[in-house]
Amino acid sequence: MINPYDIKIGDMVSPEMALELAKHFNLDYIVNSVEDAYLINYKPFRFDGASCLIDSLASLLAGIDQKLFTYECAMPHDIAYYFGLPGDSEEKEMVDQKFKSDLIEKAGMKSWLAEIFYYAVKFGGVEELGTSFSWGFGRQPNKCFVCSRSKAANPEECLLDCDIKVTKDKE
């Protein structure tokens, strides 16, 4: 089992490591929906702690422990965003609410400040922005989530017509 505290800010996280982290953080809905065979559809990412923040400064100003902030709040939130299914706004909302409750319950952040962090991820993490930390950022671009065929070359060849519907629904 992977120890999240062994991953430092700036380290690369492989899809296999991300799935192990999902198991560690009891993100069962992710673990149950992502099989090892589908990990080819995800790309490695560089762990950045709380995206757009300097974790040590943010935790100091918030009066909370940096390790709890980074590893018990930001990391599980990042893993959920990494595996996030594009177009699933209900799951994103659930993940953002969990982040807020983790900030309060695990890191001891004041609720008013956790509310600000919640709105920052709610609006700053939307997939439409296409940032390195947006919802669903771990997915390989133009790959069918299930069959791994290139959607750019011929979307009709997707074996199970899996997430092409999500793409078509957005257009």
Asked if 113 and 70 sit in the same domain, the reply is yes
At residue 72, the pLDDT reads: 93
Amino acid at site 30: I
At residue 50, the pLDDT reads: 82
Asked if 103 and 167 sit in the same domain, the reply is no
At residue 168, the pLDDT reads: 37
At residue 45, the pLDDT reads: 92
Asked if 45 and 123 sit in the same domain, the reply is yes
Asked if 62 and 122 sit in the same domain, the reply is yes
Asked if 168 and 109 sit in the same domain, the reply is no
What single-letter DSSP state applies at residue 41?
G
Asked if 155 and 114 sit in the same domain, the reply is no
What single-letter DSSP state applies at residue 143?
B
Number of domains in the chain: 2
Q: Is 50 exposed, middle or buried (0-12, 13-18, 19+ CB in 10 A)?
A: buried
Q: How far apart are CA 56 and CA 76, in angstroms?
A: 18
Q: How far apart are CA 64 and CA 158, in angstroms?
A: 47
**Cβ neighbours of residue 153 under 8 Å, at least 6 residues apart?**
none
Asked if 17 and 94 sit in the same domain, the reply is yes
Taking the chain (171 residues) in consecutive chunks of 10 residues, what is each chunk's mean pLDDT? 90 93 92 76 88 74 83 94 90 96 94 93 89 86 54 49 42 41
At residue 107, the pLDDT reads: 93
Asked if 147 and 89 sit in the same domain, the reply is no
Asked if 106 and 50 sit in the same domain, the reply is yes
Domain carrying residue 151: 142-171
Asked if 151 and 93 sit in the same domain, the reply is no
Asked whether 141 and 44 are in contact (CB, 8 A), the reply is: no
At residue 97, the pLDDT reads: 98
